[in-house]
């Protein structure tokens, strides 16, 4: 019996079955959306407000968004700056494999110097990526995600009330029928010189379903009277979703292998 020849025959037959298999794509992109937003306002009075935003939604493969927005508020001797960035790509390759990758960050800084008066500076930055996709068959996923949040500086000098702080990053993968696959949230509310981080490296199988992958980072800071502050947050992701061989294809492989073994046995 010549095993090399049997393997060659079975693999050639399997290739024909694989390439000629009918049916809809195993993975479809239903919707993908991204947004970056930065805003800044100073109330002395008078009030100065600046907003800058960019967003995009699509159900198509291809490059998705590369955007940076920034805003600045300046009034009297108070100032605030907000910034949001994002780069992301999304696609289905020729094999029907879903690939998404990118990174995003937000940052806010303020400096309020008006002791004894109700001067206020507020800055905010938001950046988010969401993807809805449907799998017709079981799929294998390989996902890497990083989250970070840091309150780098927050000093209150003479204000009679504290500043308002919201610094966070989240990640979520949930199926309409499958439920939550993973969910993470980090938040940093202390100036301790340490950055809050969370890293996920996940591999597994998803059942046929419609799934939502959502990543989000936000910073909001409000300074009052006499205070300074600086904070950042962000996320990064690398996602691959691969269709598993369909049952029909595996059956075709088994039949091809069986036929090859029988033919070899008759020749022997």
Task: Give residue-wise pLDDT tens across range 197-253.
Answer: 999 999 999 999 999 999 999 999 988 888 899 999 999 999 999 997 654 344 444
**154-to-63, 199, 221, 235 alpha-carbon distances in Å:** 38, 26, 10, 22
185 pLDDT band, cuts 50/70/90, is very high
The DSSP element (H or E) to which 106 belongs, if any, is strand 98-113
d(CA 152, CA 229): 8
Sign of the alpha-carbon torsion through 250, 255, 261, 263: negative
Q: Which pLDDT does position 43 carry in this prediction?
A: 79
- pLDDT for the residue numbered 183: 96
Tell me 207's DSSP state: -
Residue in 237, 50, 234 with CA at minimum distance from that of residue 126: 234
pLDDT digit string (tens) for 81-131?
888 888 888 888 888 999 999 999 999 998 888 777 777 888 888 999 999
Highest mean pLDDT among 26-35, 66-75, 79-88, 179-188: 179-188
Higher pLDDT, 135 or 19: 135
Would the pTM count as exceeding 0.85? Answer: no
Q: Rounded to whole angstroms, how far apart are CA atoms 201 and 177? A: 23
pLDDT band at 47 (very low <50, low <70, confident <90, very high): low
CB distance 260 to 252 below 8 Å:
no
DSSP labels for 128-178?
Answer: EEEEEEEESS-EEEEEEEEEEEEEEEEEESS-SSPPEEEEEEEEEEEETTT
- Residue whose C-alpha is closest to residue 78's, from 108, 48, 51, 102: 48
* Sequence spans of domains, the chain: 1-21+246-268, 30-245
């Amino acid at each position: 019996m010549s095993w090399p020849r049997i393997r060659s025959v079975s693999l050639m037959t399997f290739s024909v079955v694989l390439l000629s298999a009918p049916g809809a794509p195993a993975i479809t992109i239903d919707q993908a959306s991204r947004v970056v937003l930065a805003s800044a306002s100073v109330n002395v009075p008078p009030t100065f407000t600046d907003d800058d935003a960019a967003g995009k939604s699509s159900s198509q493969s291809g490059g998705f968004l590369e955007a940076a927005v920034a805003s600045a508020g300046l009034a009297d001797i108070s100032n605030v700056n907000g910034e949001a960035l994002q780069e992301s790509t999304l696609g289905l390759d020729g094999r029907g494999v879903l690939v998404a990758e990118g990174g995003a960050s937000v940052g806010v800084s303020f400096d309020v110097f008006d002791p004894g008066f109700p001067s206020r500076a507020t800055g905010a930055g938001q950046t988010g990526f969401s993807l809805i996709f449907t799998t017709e068959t079981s799929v294998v996923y390989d996902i890497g995600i990083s989250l970070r949040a840091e309150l780098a500086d927050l000093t209150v000098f003479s204000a009679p009330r504290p500043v308002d702080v919201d610094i966070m990053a989240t990640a979520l993968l949930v199926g309409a029928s499958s439920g939550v696959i993973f969910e993470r949230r980090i938040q940093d509310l202390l100036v301790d010189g340490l950055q809050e981080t969370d890293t996920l490296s996940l591999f597994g199988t998803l059942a046929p379903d419609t799934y939502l992958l959502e990543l989000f980072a936000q910073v909001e800071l409000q300074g009052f009277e006499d205070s300074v502050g600086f904070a950042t947050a962000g996320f990064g992701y690398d996602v691959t979703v691969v269709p598993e061989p369909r049952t029909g294809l595996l059956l075709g492989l088994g039949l091809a292998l069986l036929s090859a073994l029988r033919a070899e046995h008759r020749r022997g």
